[in-house]
Structure 1
Amino acid sequence: MNTVFATSNILSKNDQMMFQVLKELRLVRQELDELKRTVVASQMEEATDLIETSLEYKSSGSLEEKVTNLLRKIRIPANLKGYYFLREAIMINYNGCGQMMKSIYPNVSQKFNTTPSRAERAMRHAIEVAWSKRNETCIGSLISYRSGRPTVSEFVTGIADRIRLDDGSLENK
């Protein structure tokens, strides 16, 4: 009789453990479903941002507005000096039809009263910040570059060329 009672206690403990495992599995499944929804929403938001970027800077009037819209969509924070340096460098490159970066750094640094090496470092930092926010796909869809994080030169010339292509002015130059 005692063995029958002991067996029923063991079964109920096993049942309790299985019930607990099933509860935990259900929670894990809910967390995975929520994670999937978050990832899909993030991807959709990224795609929407890219479409909006394209529409905004194509329809915006001035070059400065186009460059500003692109830098915002790439999520380069405006509180960084490099943001303003990049904006100026892209506009110089656009107007100079692909001017070499060696000649752009002194122009940017002179406008902002700093040295060329500090200007270059600030621009590199701004690109690193955007890159660390996991915007590789956003940046990669706007410009072409080797592998890894784009250099300042690749970034500036890529954005300027992108605007030229969209404006239709690349064929004219």
Structure 2
Amino acid sequence: MNSILLSTQECGSQELLQLTEMLCREQDFQIIVSRAFPFMEKERKTKTVENRAGDLLTKLGFKANLKGVVYLKAAARIGLEDREELEGVTKRLYPAIAKECRTCAGRVEHAIRHAIHTSWEKGDVRQQRMVFGYDRESGNRPTNAEFIARMIDCLERQDHLLYS
């Protein structure tokens, strides 16, 4: 996938020509706008971690009615607050989510696994490839722990980019 980074610096005619050519050639083209755009900073800050996680999950093909989506959003928030929670997903993260959502850790684990399985089979292959480096066509599916870690990595990258 090709990408181009745009900042507040003015684009010259060469950069605009390059951008136009890439847009015409590439379907998997990504435009990245850097932090240098202050008018977009306010918009990004108003979105909570859970909203941004929800947006990412929607792009990956998750259906909002799945209970696992609620738990994945909570996992994103908890994981971004304290990355050490991800070292013990079964012993630390699931119980923390369960306590918050008034359920048990086993149900949290099962709901997340079901949501990942469902979305992986029906989700957008291109988005899967962008986030995980592979997709359902490769015959692999991420584990719960891998999915949560990659989702958090994606959200951390979004903290450094305003638009991607």
Give TM-score scaled by structure 2 length. Answer: 0.62
CA RMSD, 1 decimal: 2.8
- Offset of 1:110 from its aligned partner? 1.1
Q: Is residue 109–residue 119 contact of structure 1 (8 Å, CA) maintained in 2?
A: yes
Shift of 1:90: 1.4
For CA contacts below 8 A with separation 6 or more, give which structure has more relative contact order. Answer: 2
Distance 2:84 2:63 in 1: 25
Q: Which moved more, 1:94-103 or 1:64-73?
A: 94-103
Q: Which has the higher helix share?
A: 1
Separation in 2, partners of 1:134, 1:159? 15
1:74-110 superposed Cα distances (whole Å, 9 cap, x missing partner): 1211111111011111111111125221311001111
Partner residue in 1 for 2:129: 140
SS in 1 for 2:83: coil
Q: Which amino acid aligns with 2:54?
A: T
| Residues 86-165 of structure 1 aligned to structure 2 (within 5 Å) | 86-100=72-86, 101-102=89-90, 103-144=92-133, 148-165=140-157
Structure 1 CA distance, aligned partners of 2:82 and 2:133? 20
More strand by share: 2
The alpha carbon displacement at 1:141 in A equals: 0.8
Name the aligned partner's letter for residue 117 of structure 2.
E
Shift of 1:161: 1.1
Q: Runs of 5+ in structure 2 lacking a partner?
A: 1-26, 32-40
One-letter code of the match for 2:143? T
Gapped runs of 5+ residues in structure 1?
A: 1-43, 52-57
CA contact (8 A) 2:62 2:123 kept: no
The equivalent of 1:62 in structure 2 is 48
Structure 2: distance between partners of 1:97 and 1:145: 24
The alignment partner of 2:85 has SS state of coil
